[in-house]
Amino acid sequence: MVKISALTTAIECAKNGVTFVIDHHSSPNAINGSLETIAKAFEEVGVSHLLCYEISDRDGEKKTEQAFEETNRYLRTRQGLVGMHASFTIGDPTFKKAIQLAEKYDTGIHIHVAEDEYDQLLCEKTYGKKVIERIAHLGGLKNSKTILVHCLHLNDTERKTINGSGAWVAQNTESNLNNRVGFFNSIGLGGNIMLGTDGMHSDMMQAAKASYFTGLNFDKIDLPGIYHRFRNTQRYLLQNDFKGDAENNLVVLDYQPQTEFNHDNFPGHFIFGIESRNILHVISDGRLIVKDRKMTTVDEEAISEVSIELSKKLWKKINSM
């Protein structure tokens, strides 16, 4: 199931012009080997990656230890991050151990932050600190490889701390809307903001449009600004010397604008005109992985058939719990 999930996701990414995926994975009933399984599936399709496993105390001590073992095993030979679930499910000993693991491999953490207000309330009640204050206190904001996901319910002091840390914020508008947890606001966070989907889908142009239109009501955003956030993932990867996103990654569009198309009005075309349906060819790491809107690397139809059957099995297992 992990493999098929990764294959179907990678296919959707490729056909939507996404050639690099930052993934925060969780499969508590299938931890061992899960990251390598995902990595190989992505590579089979032709999508580069920066993976991590979601470490948490919520499933018990045994699975927490398995998550550490999986992360340590993976980072021995692969680039990646040290993943953590929301801080309210992670005790101080586990948190400190995760920070130490990230330091061991000279990488950052990938953690969900204040997605819901409950994260802040429980953190203050249990640890006497705000979420960002706790992360900083435990050493989680030491380098620019760290990714803080969501960051909705933050005060001005926390925003200032993030801005001064060099860490990156991942905005996930559609996931926030779906979970009805609040609206992203970039004020005080600085310029290290990139867009994500939190697994809602694999279309980053759709994510940009949703973030822009929602942001008109709740954020300080304009057309050049949303395109800047859209491209910031590349800046994050280049800044931190992660491999897989380079000049030989190229998306070819079949886009016929009905108005003038130039450098000055491109951001308007990006939001109001260009869509993923305009993607014709995709080159990833110099390799043509999508040609004439069809995959060249894998049998999409066969993978889809297996995915449908496994999804039935998964739902049956879920409903029997």
pLDDT tens per residue, range 14-35:
999 999 999 999 999 999 999 9
Task: Give pTM, 2 decimals.
Answer: 0.96
- Band of the pLDDT at 314, cuts 50, 70, 90? very high
Residue of 230, 222, 229 lying closest to 205 (CA atoms): 230
- Please give the full DSSP string across 170-210, using - where no structure is assigned: EE-HHHHHHHT------TTS-S-EEE--TTS-S-HHHHHHH
The rounded radius of gyration (Å) of the Cα atoms in the chain is: 20
Does the pLDDT at position 267 exceed 90?
A: yes
> What are the residue boundaries of the structural domains of the chain, listed by start?
2-244
- Band of the pLDDT at 248, cuts 50, 70, 90? confident
Does the pLDDT at position 247 exceed 90?
A: no
- For the chain, the average pLDDT equals 96
Contact 192, 167 (CB under 8 A): yes
Mean pLDDT of 214-227: 96
Domain 2-244 class, CATH top level: alpha beta
Mean pLDDT of 291-317: 96
- Please give the full DSSP string across 253-296, using - where no structure is assigned: E----SS---TTTHHHHHHHT--GGGEEEEEETTEEEEETTEES
Sequence-distant (≥ 6) Cβ neighbours of residue 151 within 8 angstroms: 113, 114, 162, 169, 171, 184, 189
